[in-house]
Every structure is written in structure tokens, then in C-alpha cells.
């Protein structure tokens, strides 16, 4: 549980951030550079004292200005992973990890050395020096060091920002494993929505030091405040589902979406695998009659619930059996199809357009789970 209500004045910049998260999953602080994300995590970690407010993590009250409580950073039990790994250059990977274990300060051991090494794929790196590691490898070691300090929460302050795109792709699966296998609250800071989409359970959207919106990833994917930041190219509904049958001949898996089904490239998916799918508004096609004679195999029937202008185009919100999708159409298409609220329509989705937008997830671990 995270209960955060903090206020801080720094020169001309004011941070006034308030959010509550009851889950043990990943809460993402998302927004443009300079919106107050790092200022917020510095206050959580005890590196920056709020002017007023409170910070509670689980049953631990870490800061309360009114009651004069301000637990020192080193006693908060918080693991902090910075943009740059900040490993000790004169220590081996093993010694860096052992340093984290020494910082546990008598706290109960939830994350054992061998388990963390296995979880983060560090066995082959233990005797190497930080200077010989790639950016992604250094971040994995930094995460391992933070876990071995037995934290009550893990703060990840843009851990992918300082590494190139290829290395980000290598590190993301390890972060997904942390989320799926550990019962540990995490705060993940990013200005890249693709990272948030893959990792987060909840999103706190920050603008100019304040919370513009807060909610689960699915509802936040359609928030007007988010749209203003990510732009038309990244705009799209997010759905969570479970894979059904997988056709070995075609290499396609079925995912139930509302009252219909999607066919997606199976890749590494397996039956009954929880997944998250992003359906970009720009990639969806709208029809006002049942489609036939098309190469597009994904067709979801629904009704229009909302029409909103989006620059020179329109966003059409379609309820497909309890799942809302967004379709971006031109003003000319909206007029030509005479689109109206409650009108029955069909949303067409190319299977190839979903490539790179389907992410596997594991079921949430039970409380008290350990790495493994």
C-alpha cells in the first residue's frame, strides 16, 4: 500500500502530489520531463524533505509533517535504482550485490542471494567489474543490489533512460519478471508510455508538479490528460485478457475481447496466458456494415458510445461487449459514414498491426512470494 500526499516548493517549481495505491504491483509516475517525477521519488526515498504532507508505505509511516515524523533515508527500507546504475567501480558484481545485503540492517530476508542472481540472470557476471558490463547489465546488478537490501518498496527512477533501445529490450523482460514474481510494491518512473504500458498496474500522470489523473492502466489509456501527452501516434485502448486456443498451423492465438475474439501472433504465448494488448486508434478501421470479402480477420461488433474531436480528426469510442475501443477517423470519414451515438459498427483490426503490442503477463503472486 502506498499513501502519498506531499507538497514541496523548490524555487519557482511547486510539487503537490497526492495518490493512493492499495496493490502490491507497479505504480508508474508518468509525464513529460520536468513534471515532478524525480522530485516525488526523492521525497519518497527521504532524499528530499516535503514542506508538508505525509508518506505511508504499508503499515510504516515514513513522513508526517504535522506529527514531526521524518524517518531518515537509510532507515526507510526503500530500494532505489537510479538512471545510472551507480555501482561501486572498484567492486565486482558479486561484491556490489553483497554490499546490498549488508544494508538489510536486520530486516527479514525475503530475497535470497541465489534467488536474486537467478531471477536477474547474473550468474555469468558475478566475477566481472562494472566497467566491463553493458548498460542493461549494470542496471540488472543495481536492481539486484537494491533487492538484497530487503526493501519494503522498490523505486525505479527511469532505469531505462540511460541505455540504448536494444539494451532496453533486453532489460524489460527482467523488469516484467520482477513485477510478476515478487510480491513487492514498485514505483516506476518513466516518460515513455510504451514502458509504462508493459510494466505498470496503475498510472499517476503528473503535469507541472501536480497529479493530472490517476487510475489503472486500462482506464488511463483513454484519459484525455494522457492523450494530450502521448499524441495521436501512441493513442490507443489497452485491454487485459487471456489467450484461448492456439493454432499451430497458422501460428495464431485467440484472445477474448468483450463479446468477440482477436487473433494475434502466438510468438511465445501459451494457452490460458494472461496478456495485455494495446489497440492503437490509428490502426483500427471502422465499418457500418458486417465486413465480408476482406483480408482483415479480426472484426469486433459494437456500438458507438462517444464521438470526440481530435485535432483535424475524430475519435470514435466503441463498446464491444463491455470493452471500449478507440478508432481515429478523418472528419471526412465521420461525415461520409454519418456516424452517430448508439450506431452499430464493426471495428476491423489487422493481425500484423498488433505485432509488438501484445505483452504476456503472469498471474499476480500470492502475498509473501519470494523470487523464483
What are the helix (H) ranges across 200-355? 217-220, 224-230, 331-336
What spatial distance separates the first Cα and last Cα of the chain, rounded to whole Å? 23
Per-residue pLDDT tens over the stretch 125-182: 999 999 999 989 999 999 999 999 999 999 999 988 878 777 787 888 888 888 888 8
Domain at 2-230: CATH architecture: 3-Layer(aba) Sandwich (3.40)
More confident residue, 260 or 28: 28
Element spanning 172, H or E: helix 165-181
Distant-in-sequence, close-in-space partners of 206: CB < 8 Å, separation ≥ 6: 17, 29, 30, 31, 35, 36, 37, 40, 212
Task: Check if the beta carbon of residue 349 is closer than 8 Å to that of residue 279.
Answer: yes
Fold of 237-359: OB fold (Dihydrolipoamide Acetyltransferase, E2P) (2.40.50)
Q: Which residues pair with 252 in a beta bridge?
A: 247, 265
Per-residue pLDDT tens over the stretch 182-201: 888 999 999 888 889 989 99
Per-residue pLDDT tens over the stretch 50-90: 999 999 998 899 999 999 999 999 999 999 998 888 999 99
Per-residue pLDDT tens over the stretch 231-256: 878 889 999 888 999 998 889 999 98
Distant-in-sequence, close-in-space partners of 14: CB < 8 Å, separation ≥ 6: 7, 8, 209
Q: What is d(CA 176, CA 59) in angstroms, rounded to the nearest whole number? A: 26
pLDDT range class, residue 294, cuts 50, 70, 90: confident
Average pLDDT across the chain, whole number: 90
Q: In what order do the strands lie in the sheet with 298-310?
A: 284-287, 344-349, 298-310, 313-319, 324-330
Output the pLDDT for position 362: 64
Buried b / exposed e along 3-20 (16+ C-beta atoms within 10 A): ebbbbbeeeeeebbbebe
What does the domain layout of the chain look like in residue ranges?
2-230, 237-359
Amino acid at each position: 500500500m502506498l499513501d502519498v500526499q506531499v507538497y514541496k516548493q523548490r524555487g519557482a517549481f511547486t510539487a503537490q502530489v497526492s495518490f493512493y495505491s492499495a496493490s502490491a504491483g507497479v505504480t508508474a509516475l508518468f509525464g513529460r520531463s520536468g513534471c515532478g517525477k524525480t522530485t516525488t521519488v526523492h521525497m519518497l526515498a527521504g532524499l528530499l524533505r516535503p514542506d508538508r504532507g505525509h508518506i505511508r508505505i504499508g503499515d510504516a509511516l515514513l513522513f508526517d509533517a504535522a506529527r514531526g515524523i521524518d524517518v531518515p533515508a537509510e532507515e526507510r527500507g526503500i530500494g532505489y535504482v537510479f538512471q545510472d546504475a551507480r555501482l561501486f567501480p572498484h567492486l565486482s558484481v558479486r561484491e556490489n550485490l553483497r554490499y546490498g545485503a549488508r544494508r538489510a540492517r536486520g530486516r527479514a530476508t525475503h530475497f535470497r542471494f541465489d534467488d536474486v542472481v537467478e531471477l536477474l540472470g547474473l550468474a555469468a557476471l558475478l566475477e566481472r567489474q562494472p566497467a566491463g558490463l553493458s548498460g542493461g547489465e549494470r542496471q540488472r546488478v543495481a536492481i539486484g543490489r537494491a533487492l538484497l537490501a530487503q526493501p519494503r518498496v522498490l523505486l525505479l527512477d527511469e532505469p531505462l533512460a540511460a541505455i540504448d533501445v536494444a539494451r532496453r529490450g533486453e532489460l524489460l523482460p527482467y523488469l516484467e519478471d520482477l513485477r510478476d514474481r515478487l510480491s513487492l510494491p514498485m514505483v516506476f518512473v518513466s516518460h515513455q508510455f510504451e514502458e509504462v504500458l508493459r510494466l505498470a498496474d496503475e498510472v499517476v500522470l503528473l503535469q507541472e508538479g501536480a497529479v493530472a489523473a490517476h487510475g489503472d492502466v486500462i482506464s488511463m489509456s483513454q484519459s484525455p490528460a494522457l492523450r494530450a501527452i502521448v499524441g495521436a501516434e501512441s493513442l490507443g485502448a489497452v485491454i487485459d485478457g487471456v489467450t484461448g486456443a492456439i493454432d499451430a498451423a497458422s501460428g495464431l492465438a485467440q484472445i477474448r475481447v468483450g463479446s468477440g475474439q482477436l487473433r494475434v501472433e502466438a510468438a511465445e504465448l501459451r494457452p490460458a496466458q494472461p496478456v495485455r494488448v494495446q489497440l492503437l486508434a490509428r490502426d483500427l478501421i471502422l465499418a457500418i456494415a458486417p465486413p465480408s470479402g476482406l483480408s482483415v480477420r479480426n472484426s469486433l461488433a459494437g456500438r458507438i458510445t462517444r464521438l470526440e474531436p481530435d485535432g483535424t480528426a475524430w475519435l470514435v469510442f466503441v463498446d464491444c461487449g463491455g470493452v471500449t475501443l478507440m478508432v481515429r477517423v478523418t472528419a471526412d470519414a465521420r461525415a461520409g459514414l454519418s456516424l452517430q451515438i448508439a450506431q452499430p459498427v464493426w471495428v476491423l483490426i489487422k493481425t500484423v498491426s498488433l505485432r509488438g503490442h501484445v505483452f504476456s503477463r503472469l498471474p499476480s503472486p500470492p502475498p509473501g512470494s519470494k523470487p523464483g
